[in-house]
């Protein structure tokens, strides 16, 4: 193995970490190495996950498509940027700085390696990560993040991915189509996971609030969970590609994509073929959203009778940032992303905003066991 081959195995992470450990040992002695900070432990977790996913393939031990995503890094770059932005927002500047150095090194081709994973992790970095995790194991106690943290992280994710989608759709439209919004890719997978998470919250509320809320309230809550399940199922064609299911004859003839699913069905109206997706899930959903945001929401906040009605039917009303978020998503996707597959980004960002709307609504106390809106004032009330 020549010098170039050896350099190809050295990741930016290893170089940065060795320099960091040298500085820490000079300034703090061995105590600085044996008691790593929470940021160092967080970085070690990222490296450990990346190493377990990518190194076995690089070493030729197993075949794993995950490693292939590092060759063009169309998905990895926005994921990196998202983690970097979240770290910076919460003032984890050490973590953010390390990620920024790795990303910039990749973008400028500092190393002979072409794969993004090779800039992030190598065997040395993986061993250092394990050592740091052991030394800082007290930081590994799992604590469920607060609602505020989850909401901030979700909003940053939406912002970063939308901005990146605008860029990549204009600079590399083929990469946008066949890497970022590809079927069963990262964007679609996140959409499904988010909808399933919202479904879980709805069904959990249904179980927790039995005996405390009316049958109508519980029915609508269950129905909303079923709607989330429907959306997730439609997104992955009800597992057709995952399980290798054959398309039934009805869907083969009437589905625009020849897959199992209702939203891509083609129906005939006045002799013209119309996609159900455009008619109901496009025009119909957009109209319903406008009424929900700009008619129902203002009336809910100002008219007691309307408030009682929507509370009775368990409607999760939007907060101010939900309203702004919905509008920004539609505006960015429709006005700035000039691509036939831009709808995938609407589904991705819209599903996250929808989940935030469901899980953290304006009338959140309505969905908490043992509480009523009158007992715990809403922080946005009157805003």
pLDDT in tens, 192-231: 999 999 999 999 999 999 989 999 999 999 999 999 998 8
Apex 54 CA angle, 82 and 179, nearest 5: 55
Which pTM was predicted?
0.86
Provide the pLDDT for residue 296. 96
Mark which of 121, 140, 159 sits at the end of a domain.
140
Q: pLDDT for 260-319, tens place per residue?
A: 666 666 666 665 666 665 555 567 778 889 999 999 999 999 999 999 999 999 999 999
Q: Are residues 52 and 127 in the same domain?
A: yes
Q: How far is CA 328 from the centre of its chain?
A: 17
Per-residue model confidence (pLDDT) at position 82: 97
d(CA 283, CA 287): 6
The per-residue pLDDT for 1 is 40
Please check whether residues 131 and 157 belong to one and the same domain: no
User: Percent of the chain having pLDDT more than 90?
Assistant: 53
- Is it the case that residue 137 has pLDDT exceeding 60? yes
**Residue 268 phi, psi (nearest 5):** -105, 125
In this prediction, residue 235 carries a pLDDT of 81
**pLDDT at residue 304, rounded to an integer:** 94
What is residue 276's predicted lDDT score, i.e. its pLDDT?
A: 60
**Residue 92 sits in the same domain as residue 70:** yes
pLDDT of residue 68: 67
Could you tell me if 135 and 159 lie in one domain? no
Please check whether residues 85 and 168 belong to one and the same domain. Answer: no
Q: Is there a single domain that holds both residue 354 and residue 301?
A: yes
> Are residue 127 and residue 185 in the same domain, yes or no?
no
pLDDT in tens, 80-104: 999 999 999 999 999 999 999 999 9
On whether both 208 and 339 belong to a single domain, the answer is: yes
pLDDT of residue 26: 85
Whether residues 85 and 158 fall in one domain: no
Are 202 and 335 contained in the same domain? yes
* Same domain, yes or no: 160 and 308: yes
Domain count, the chain: 2
**Beta carbons of 129 and 50 less than 8 angstroms apart:** no
Q: Which domain holds residue 27?
A: 3-140
133 and 77 co-located in one domain: yes
Output the DSSP codes for 245-296. PPPPHHHHHHBTTSSS-STTBEEEETTEEEEHHHIIIIIIHHHHHHHIIIII
């Amino acid at each position: 193995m020549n010098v170039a081959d050896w350099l190809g195995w050295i990741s930016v992470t290893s170089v940065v970490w060795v320099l960091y450990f040298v500085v820490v040992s000079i300034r703090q002695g061995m105590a600085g190495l044996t008691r790593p900070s929470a940021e160092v432990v967080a970085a070690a977790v990222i490296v450990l996950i990346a190493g377990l996913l990518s190194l076995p393939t690089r070493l030729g031990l197993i075949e794993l498509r995950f490693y292939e995503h590092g060759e063009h890094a169309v998905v990895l770059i926005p994921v990196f940027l998202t983690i970097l932005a979240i770290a910076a927002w919460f003032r984890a500047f050490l973590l953010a700085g390390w990620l920024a150095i790795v990303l910039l090194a990749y973008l400028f081709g500092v190393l002979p390696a072409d794969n993004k994973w090779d800039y992030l992790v190598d065997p040395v970095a993986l061993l250092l990560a394990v050592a740091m995790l052991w030394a800082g194991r007290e930081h590994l106690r799992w604590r469920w993040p607060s609602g505020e943290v989850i909401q901030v992280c979700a909003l940053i994710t939406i912002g970063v991915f939308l901005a990146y989608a605008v860029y990549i759709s204009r600079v590399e439209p083929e990469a946008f189509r066949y890497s970022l919004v590809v079927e069963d890719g990262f964007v679609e997978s996140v959409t499904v996971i988010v909808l399933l998470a919202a479904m879980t919250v709805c069904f959990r509320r249904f179980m927790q609030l039995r005996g405390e809320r009316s049958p109508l309230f519980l029915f609508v809550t269950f129905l909303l969970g079923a709607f989330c399940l429907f959306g997730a199922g439609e997104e992955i064609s009800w597992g057709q590609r995952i399980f290798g299911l054959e398309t039934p004859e009805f869907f083969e003839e009437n589905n625009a994509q020849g897959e199992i699913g209702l939203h891509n069905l083609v129906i005939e109206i006045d002799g013209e073929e119309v996609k159900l997706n455009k008619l109901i899930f496009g025009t119909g959903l957009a109209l319903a959203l406008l009424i929900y945001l700009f008619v129902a929401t203002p009336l809910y906040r100002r008219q007691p009778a309307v408030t009682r009605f929507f509370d009775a039917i368990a409607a999760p009303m939007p907060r101010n940032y939900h309203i702004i978020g919905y509008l920004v998503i539609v505006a960015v996707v429709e006005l700035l992303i000039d691509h036939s597959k831009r709808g995938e980004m609407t589904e991705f960002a819209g599903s996250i905003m929808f989940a935030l709307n469901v899980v953290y609504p304006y009338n959140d106390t309505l969905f908490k066991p043992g509480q009523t809106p009158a007992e715990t004032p809403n922080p946005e009330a009157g805003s």
